[in-house]
Structure 1
Amino acid sequence: MAHSFRQTDILEIALSEGKVTVEDLAERFGVTVQTIRRDLCELADTGKLERVHGGAVLPSGVSNIGYEHRRDLHHAEKAAIAKRCATEIPDSCSVFLNIGTSTEQVARELLNRTDLMVVTNNINVANILVANDNCDIVVAGGLLRRADGGLVGDLTSQVIAQFKFDYAVIGCSALDEDGDLLDFDVQEVSVSKSIIRQARRTFLVADNSKFFRSAPARIASLRDIDMFFTDRPPPAQVQARCREWDTQIVVAP
């Protein structure tokens, strides 16, 4: 395989899994570890990856992966997380679903529910739930972010402040070892804080790739979350903090 194509594939693996190791890549591509090290160094030189001992990770940055690309990543894991999360949301309640590909999956799991009120700042979520005639949908208006159909800004927060939700389901772009939920857009972070304030119970849906990423803006702490739905056990330090804070971790099968 030409090294340019191999590097493209390496980057795809890193985007999907959050990190790559020299030994694993050498085995996958049938090349020497020295060849892989050169590939990783070249990708690091262009800012696409960040070298760490034994491999590489996605670079710590201030911009997110494209929304359509994120929608394709970890699709099966997100579907399993969403299915498990939806079992904790009964009929005849109010729910907030925020921006994110994982919360879109939760919306799909609510299509057969009855007597729901769903408030969202995610146009994609609203479009999914239109198919459920037993669901009232409230769209929290604000500044439209064309890249992902999200509504953000002060107007969105003002609409959210008019409600008290039984449940809120939120996502994040990254989760660090201190138990902090992180994101890239400061305006979206402000809206997420408003959502948490107005919810009786807050659920986080985040696949394991979020354990290996970084983002600059802090949304909240796992201390503020009632249930954390994911597809793999998080790092030991995160698990310890969840036990301390009585935050329930639910690993979807």
Structure 2
Amino acid sequence: MLTQPRIQEILRLLDAQQRVKASDLAALLLVSEETIRRDFKYLESIGKLRRIHGGAIAPRSSEEQPLQVRSRLQTKAKTQIATCAAGFVQEGMAIFLDTGTTTFAMAQALTRFSRLRIVTNSLDIAQLVAQQSDNHVVVTPGDVRRNDNALIGPHTLEFSRQFHYDIAFMGIGGIDLELGFMDYEEPEAVLRRTLARHCVRSVILADYGKFGHRTFINTLPFSAVTTLVTNLPPPGDYRQRMEQEHVDILYP
């Protein structure tokens, strides 16, 4: 659908103007406003725009895409990452899985185990593991964030810091050469800092596209993380920096 001339023209105008109106596009492209609204809905679902009343605007680079969009991106890479990371896991371990599409893939990889104690702040991960394996699942308390079914807030942090985990598997918003691991929102950043202090092995799961992607919040310096699992060899300058900070790097 992205190759359709109408869709391409909408994207061209959005790139040039940063904001477009459905009525103007309908008149220009000789279609109904309902057709344009359907185009907007499709383009929003793949992260190309954000719908607003009467039109659409370009997505902000500092804004994380919705979970339903991210879940359709880099699916092969996420599966590869999860398969690699599962090599750290042994029956009987206590594991934390935070919320995200790559940690959801990790949860799928862990369903082949049966005697893990898995703590998570993701309702989706909890449901998956509970329904598809015999592992023991513990869900943190917290406020439900509707766009991704994550549990966040002070109750989540208070509960999470009560335990000591063999491994904490964490997603991340971006990886910057100077600033380290970064996030879009404070709840994720604060939880990940907490988890890094309460585990034997802290594992960041990140596809290659996260390298060089600077987001809003400085979450963790490289030195605070024991392991990075990705799907391709990191760029040379990142690999050198992480080796200096004693970060283990794993990829297929």
Q: Distance in 1 between matches of 2:92 and 2:216?
A: 37
Aligned partners of 1:7 and 1:43 also within 8 Å:
no
Greater RCO (Cα-Cα under 8 Å, separation 6 or more): 1
Q: Distance in 2 between matches of 1:183 and 1:44?
A: 28
Structure 1 residue 221, shift from structure 2 partner: 1.8
Q: Distance in 2 between matches of 1:203 and 1:181?
A: 12
2:165 match = 165
2:77 match = 77
User: Quick one: structure 1 residues 4 and 121, their matched pair in 2 at CA, closer, same or farther if it must change by over 3 Å?
Assistant: same
1:214 match = 214
User: Quick one: structure 1 residues 168 and 4, their matched pair in 2 at CA, closer, same or farther if it must change by over 3 Å?
Assistant: same
Q: Is 1:202 the counterpart of 2:202 in the alignment?
A: yes
2:43 match = none
Aligned partners of 1:60 and 1:214 also within 8 Å:
no
Encode CA deviations 1:210-240: one digit per residue, 9 max, x unaligned. 1243310111022212111111122222111
Give the 4+ runs in structure 1 shifted more than 4 A. 1-4
**Structure number, greater radius of gyration:** 2
Structure 1 residue 208, shift from structure 2 partner: 1.2
1:142 match = 142
Q: TM-score, normalised by structure 2?
A: 0.78
CA RMSD of superposed structures (Å): 2.3
DSSP-derived class of the 1:131 partner: helix
Q: Distance in 1 between matches of 2:17 and 2:244?
A: 41
User: Quick one: structure 1 residues 218 and 110, their matched pair in 2 at CA, closer, same or farther if it must change by over 3 Å?
Assistant: same
User: Quick one: structure 1 residues 154 and 103, their matched pair in 2 at CA, closer, same or farther if it must change by over 3 Å?
Assistant: same
Q: Distance in 2 between matches of 1:69 and 1:101?
A: 10
1:68 match = 68
DSSP-derived class of the 1:61 partner: coil
Aligned partners of 2:179 and 2:218 also within 8 Å:
no
Aligned partners of 1:168 and 1:196 also within 8 Å:
yes
Aligned partners of 2:115 and 2:135 also within 8 Å:
yes
- Unmatched segments (≥5 aa) in structure 1: 12-38, 50-57
Structure 1 residue 112, shift from structure 2 partner: 1.6
The residue identity in structure 2 corresponding to 1:220 is L
Aligned partners of 1:178 and 1:237 also within 8 Å:
no
Aligned partners of 1:153 and 1:190 also within 8 Å:
no
Size of the aligned set, in residue pairs, is: 214
Q: Distance in 1 between matches of 2:145 and 2:232?
A: 31
Encode CA deviations 1:5-42: one digit per residue, 9 max, x unaligned. 2367xx7xxxxxxxxxxxxxxxxxxxxxxxxxxx5x96
The residue identity in structure 2 corresponding to 1:129 is V
Structure 1 residue 132, shift from structure 2 partner: 4.4
1:242 match = 242
Aligned identity (percent) is: 24
Q: Distance in 2 between matches of 1:80 and 1:118?
A: 21
The residue identity in structure 1 corresponding to 2:122 is N
Q: Distance in 2 between matches of 1:182 and 1:120?
A: 20
Q: Distance in 2 between matches of 1:136 and 1:59?
A: 39
Q: TM-score, normalised by structure 1?
A: 0.78
Structure 1 residue 153, shift from structure 2 partner: 1.0
Q: Among 43, 46, 69, which residue is 2:15 paired with?
A: 43
User: Quick one: structure 1 residues 206 and 150, their matched pair in 2 at CA, closer, same or farther if it must change by over 3 Å?
Assistant: same
1:122 match = 122
Structure 1 residue 179, shift from structure 2 partner: 5.5
The residue identity in structure 2 corresponding to 1:116 is L
